[in-house]
């Protein structure tokens, strides 16, 4: 390994970081700095890939150092996710106006997430059929075989669990362990635990208003502190995006991507089509889809680069409240719930496409209306409890394929293009969450259209 080359690469990254910092000092908008980091990262990563290749020691060691910035940034966001989920749900209940509309917010917020997941599944089915994707066309190499071996244990846990057992796994038995993320269903368990605290608060407020008022003040104070931490972390987003995109571009196997190009193209056609559905829903609510895209881009960009819906949660909530004008109560309710329910990309499009691809291998006609309806229903139900971190799509796919008695080996055959597709899936997950928040706010009247149409928003908040 050439240590000098590694040092040169690190020096270049530091120079790019300094460049982004200078842009900040010159008061360049936050969103523009995020996109600058995105573009520079892609360019720098491609250069590293071309010069050294994906398997060289120089590339490997360089990325290890870059991970201090990229993975370190994601870790900081993940650090605050559980506290934010917990305090956000409770804060949603302490908001007087929201507690009056709690039934409507729950119905519309969760309902929109599930309906859009069903639509996403239908689009995924259409993309797989339209592009003529077939599972038999995929071939397993060493990496794919290793991935399938690693999935054997996980498949067993999914196959051995009935739907009632899966529902029971959502219920927290030790909320403190779930706050530490000890289980794959920890996020939804924390949501449930926090919801019980919120419901208890509503009961106390009716009978002991003084104690409830004190509790609400404590919750508001904790929420303000957590959100301030979020703001501090978000300020380093351009640097995190730079390092993350450099890693993706430097380590991607472009030959494998070309070989699976048809699947990649079909996946992104489906993802873009579903994003257009989100924009159509925004338009039907008599809101500007252009404004939605402009204000939502920083959150979508980070989701794209980090591949973590959970890691994007702080930026998601900030975008909804300060960019779109969604009330804090609704954003704090819909945002955390979207991590475990109704992820349009990971739990909607992807499992549906895989199911259609492997159905013919077991004698099932993918055009059969009965199969299509069953698949959409299973996808919607299977979207419950899907973790909003890397690997959520794999878990959702295993659930759907297992319930339908379809071969699960296809999940491991796409490992070479998994990161590339997962970037788009995660961005769509976050878009679905924000769309649900905006529409729920509009329907329930917990929405400030002036904030939505204002030219400011997240840029000003992050800089504050």
CATH number of the domain that 230 lies in?
Answer: 1.10.3860.10
Question: Per mean pLDDT, which range of 132-136, 293-297, 371-375 is the poorest?
Answer: 132-136
How much is the mean pLDDT over the chain?
A: 84
pLDDT higher than threshold 90 for residue 125: yes
Question: Per mean pLDDT, which range of 51-65, 128-142, 151-165, 307-321 is the poorest?
Answer: 151-165
Question: Per mean pLDDT, which range of 37-46, 58-67, 377-386 is the poorest?
Answer: 377-386
pLDDT value of residue 145: 47
Question: Per mean pLDDT, which range of 70-84, 93-107, 430-444 is the poorest?
Answer: 93-107
Higher pLDDT: 459 or 442? It is 442
| Strands (DSSP E) found in 82-153 | none
pLDDT value of residue 159: 53
CB neighbour list of residue 427: distance below 8 Å, 6 or more residues apart: 271, 300, 301, 303, 304, 345
Contact assessment for residue 122 and residue 442, using Cβ atoms and an 8 Å cutoff: no
State the total domains in the chain. 1
Q: How confident is the model at residue 268 (pLDDT cuts 50, 70, 90)?
A: very high
Residue with tokens 């071309």: 50
pLDDT value of residue 183: 72
Rounded CA gap, 104 and 252, in Å? 45
Could you tell me if residue 327 is left (phi over 0), alpha (psi between -120 and 50 degrees) or otherwise beta? beta
- Print the domain residue range for 337: 3-463
pLDDT value of residue 140: 46
Q: Output the pTM of the full model.
A: 0.82
pLDDT tens sequence across 409-438? 777 667 667 778 888 999 999 999 999 999
pLDDT higher than threshold 80 for residue 395: no
């Amino acid at each position: 390994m050439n240590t000098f080359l590694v040092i040169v690469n690190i020096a270049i990254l530091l120079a790019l970081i300094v460049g982004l910092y200078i842009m900040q000092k010159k008061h360049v908008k936050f969103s523009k700095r995020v996109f600058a980091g995105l573009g520079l990262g892609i360019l720098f990563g491609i250069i590293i890939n071309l010069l050294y290749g994906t398997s060289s020691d120089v590339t490997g060691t360089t990325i290890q150092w870059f991970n201090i910035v990229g993975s370190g940034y994601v870790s900081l966001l993940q650090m605050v996710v559980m506290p934010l989920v917990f305090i956000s749900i409770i804060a949603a209940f302490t908001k007087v106006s929201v507690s009056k509309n709690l039934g409507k917010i729950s119905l519309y917020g969760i309902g929109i997430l599930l309906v859009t997941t069903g639509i996403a599944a239908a689009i995924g089915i259409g993309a797989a059929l339209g592009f003529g994707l077939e599972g038999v066309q995929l071939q397993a190499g060493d990496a794919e075989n290793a991935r399938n071996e690693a999935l054997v244990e996980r498949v067993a846990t999914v196959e051995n669990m009935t739907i009632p057992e899966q529902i029971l796994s959502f219920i927290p038995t030790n909320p403190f362990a779930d706050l530490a993320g000890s289980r794959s269903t920890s996020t939804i368990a924390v949501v449930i635990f926090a919801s019980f605290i919120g419901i208890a608060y509503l009961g106390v407020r009716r009978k002991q208003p003084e104690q409830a008022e004190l509790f609400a003040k404590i919750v508001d104070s904790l929420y303000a502190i957590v959100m301030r931490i979020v703001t501090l972390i978000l300020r380093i987003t351009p640097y995190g995006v730079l390092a993350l995109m450099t890693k993706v571009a430097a380590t991607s196997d472009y030959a494998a991507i070309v070989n699976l190009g048809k699947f990649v193209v079909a996946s992104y056609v489906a993802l873009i089509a579903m994003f257009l559905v989100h924009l159509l829903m925004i338009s039907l609510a008599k809101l500007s889809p252009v404004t939605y895209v402009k204000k939502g881009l920083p959150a979508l960009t980070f989701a794209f680069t980090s591949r973590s819906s959970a890691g994007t949660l702080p930026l998601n909530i900030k975008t909804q409240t300060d960019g779109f004008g969604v009330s804090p109560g609704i954003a704090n309710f819909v945002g955390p719930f979207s991590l475990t329910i109704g992820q349009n990309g990971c739990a909607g499009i992807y499992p549906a496409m895989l199911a259609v691809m492997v159905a013919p291998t077991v004698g099932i006609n993918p055009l059969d209306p009965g199969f299509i309806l069953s698949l959409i229903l299973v996808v919607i139900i299977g979207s419950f409890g899907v973790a909003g971190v890397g690997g959520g799509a794999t878990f959702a796919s295993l659930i759907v394929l297992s319930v339908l008695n379809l071969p699960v080996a296809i999940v491991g055959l796409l490992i070479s293009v998994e990161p590339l597709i997962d970037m788009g899936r995660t961005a769509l997950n976050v878009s679905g969450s924000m769309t649900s928040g905006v529409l729920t706010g509009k329907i329930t009247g917990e929405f400030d259209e002036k904030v939505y149409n204002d030219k400011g928003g997240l840029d000003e908040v992050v800089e504050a």
